[in-house]
Amino acid sequence: MKRRKLIKAQTKWGWLRWFVIGCFVSYLLAVFLTVAIVNYLGKDLPNLNDVSNLRLSQMTYIYSADGVLLGTLTSVYRKWVSIDKIPKHLQWATIVAEDKRFYTHPGIDPKGIVRAIWECLKARSYVQGGSTITMQLARNLYLSSEKTIRRKLKELLLAVRLEKKFSKDELLELYLNTVCYGHGAYGVQAAAELYFGKDVSELNLPQAALLAALPKRPTDLSPFVNPKAAKRRRDYILDAMAEEGYISRTEAEAAKKTPLTEGLRPEPTWLTEPPQAFHFVDFVRRELVKRFGQDVVDRGGLKVYTTLNYKLQKEVEKVAKRYLNAYRSVGADQMAFVVIHIPTGKILAMYGGRPYRIDPQTGKRRLDHFNRAVLAYRQPGSSFKPYVYVAALEMGFRPNSLFNDSRISFPVGNGRQWSPKNYDGRYGRTMTLKTALAVSNNVIAVKLIRAVGVDKTVEVAKRMGVKFPPYVNPSDASYSLALGSVGITVLDHTAALASVATGGIRVTPTGINKVYDSEGKLIYAIKPEGQRVLMPEIANQMLTMLISVVTEGTGRRAQIPNYQVAGKTGTSENVKDVWFVGFTPTIACGVWLGRDDNKPLKAGSGGTLCAPVFREIVMKALEYYPGERSFPVLKNQRQFDSDEHTEERKDERFVRVAICAESGLLATDFCPVTQTEYLPSKKVPRRRCPVHREELVPVLICSASGKLATPNCPAHSVVTKAFLKSQIPSEACDLHSPTVSDSTAIDETER
């Protein structure tokens, strides 16, 4: 019996010994792992003694090229205030709302974490966080908002270190001056001014509770956006303050009865008043995000110097407003345009549409952020034809190649036919490609894309810089693509056609000139990059054709005194979109006019509505950037300025020839309109113009003498022959003399 008890006791103490040993080993492993994790994560933790490491959100400033502040990104507004100027009831409300055990925990609240995990498990989703005020502060000041275990562990370590470094009042002061209260306001002072228009020290209890409610979800709980949710959260905080003993129940109930709107300001001004050139500023913001990332743009305190000329921008905005008012009669309600400096690709001005729209539900005027110059894909109509013609030139066609605009039809299914129609309703004419583009002949454009192929045209357009809608395959449009049936943007279209002016070097538009970080260090500067997209010969041929559009075609209203202008008009089907896209040697501009609801205009075309707008905008731009007045001559062209130079340089690549403007072939002395062109010697037309030649004249000839027939020649000897005027015989027949009786008859007749 004793032996059995002894064995049982030994077994009991043996298990206890091993349990103690296991716990000790587990403790050592936990300590080892903790030390290892702390050492590993602590390597890249910030130095809390270095205040410059604080990730305080700073505004990104956007300036024009001439130094005018256009606006700020993210509308970050911050003013620092010491803890002694922050009302106690605002401090208490914040503690109750975010961290009830703030004054008792060491930076981490295990109970709060366990409670949050339990609530999330019950809801089977993330419904509650366990972060203390110190943990939130660590995240806001030093870390990103990524949701990873590594970041959470860093947050815990930093929270503990912050508790050792600062007092509770210092931590609360840091938190209240850095947390976001919505609408770009960071810190309680900025929030007090934003929501109530007063100093933070003047806030009453219900106002303080409302501010304390916002950091949880600043957007969703904003009294401007969701007043009912804001009031529920405010009242919850007031009840919690009473439960924790910070205020009495009577004070809480009285504060809950206070209307939410009492003392609340109207909607913040920066939400309704746009920055200068705000469509352009938004375009720059998108470019910055692509280059630096959203977090840097939102919080990095960048100073961005753009390419926009502020004075020019204000002038062209007035032009847009004036023309939009004038075009109300044709039903137009929106306009968009861009102005690009061709040598550098800098965007000098941008107009994305009317700055305001009327909210159909409230009837209030709202800021319209949609940038129609960059984001809207609108049908370019005939202004798309240059890409078809470039494809044709690359495949060996010439500006003087002849096409006939006789009617043509294509099956489109279900027994239906599609027939392109000319704007003037005339058909059956033979003309050169140059003339066809100048007069914007639709039938010839369709025949041309059929000849070169739709895929080839799409490839050329993309190569030159056109981006089609991501949800559209432009090849599916088939031959109607030649008439601009697929939407493109004003910015892409303008920059792409401007590559013709550079001799085939792509113009890459940019709105950013230089970027400095928050410490004033230059981190980006524009570097124009030239990429050849067209051979110089093709670009020069296309340039000549686009100039003819303005000098003798549909774009005459775009002519600018003392400047060469090239461009193309465009009018989509049913006059829903009208365009003019063109350029001088240094300035490119694309103008679109239409309606947001995509309804047709009552009348007009790109040549009548948009070309005058283009002319006035570019003339203003030329006042600031005059540049060259005419396009650079073709390579080797100057050496052919005289006939003797042509003879002296027969071995050169280009020769000067006279071309008939109508047929595109070698001109004759009888062609009414000719033009001098410099062409490669191998591509000079071999035929002379068959349309205009010396006129043949029918003449009566005596077959016996071969001379002009006279009344004396027998009828059987007289024949009709056709002669050129220069070859008509000058002598009359002398073989057949008049008889006596004939003379008598003549005399009697004369009497």
330 CB neighbour count, 10 Å cutoff: 16
Classified as helix, coil or strand, 212 is helix
The H or E element spanning position 402 is strand 402-404
Burial tier of 646 (Cβ tally within 10 Å: 0-12, 13-18, 19+)? middle
Which one-letter DSSP state was computed for residue 337? E
98 included as an active-site residue: yes
The alpha helices in 353-431, defined as continuous H runs, are 385-394
Token pair in block for residue 590: 């694309």
Burial 33-46 (b: 16+ CB within 10 A, else e): eeeeeeeebeeebb
Nearest Cα neighbor of 370 from 355, 385, 383, 350 is 355
In one-letter notation, the amino acid at residue 309 is N
Catalytic-labelled residue, pool 98, 163, 537, 662: 98
Q: Give the whole-angstrom CA distance, residue 539 versus residue 544.
A: 9
663 is catalytic: no
Contact between 294 and 324 under an 8 Å Cβ cutoff? The reply is no
3-state secondary structure of 539: helix
Instruction: Supply 61's token pair.
Output: 């400033």
Do the Cβ atoms of 486 and 513 come closer than 8 Å? Answer: no
Question: Residue 524: enclosing H or E segment and its boundaries?
Answer: strand 522-525
Q: Are strands 303-306 and 512-516 parallel, antiparallel or unpaired?
A: antiparallel
Q: What are phi and psi of 663, to 5 degrees?
A: -95, -25
Residue 435 near residue 448, CB atoms below 8 Å: no
Q: Which of 289, 292, 293 is nearest to 523 (CA)?
A: 292
Question: CA–CA separation, 503 vs 532, rounded Å?
Answer: 9
Distance CA 217, CA 214 (A): 6
Tokens of 733: 């027949």
The answer to whether 373 and 489 have CB atoms below 8 angstroms apart is yes
CA distance linking residue 578 with residue 561, whole number of Å: 24
Phi-psi group of 553: left, alpha or beta (phi > 0 → left; psi -120 to 50 → alpha; rest → beta): beta
Q: Helix %, strand %, coil % for the chain, to 5?
A: 45, 15, 40
CA atoms of 112 and 116, how far apart (whole Å): 6
Name the active-site residue from 64, 131, 222, 382.
Answer: 382
Q: Which residues are catalytic?
A: 98, 382
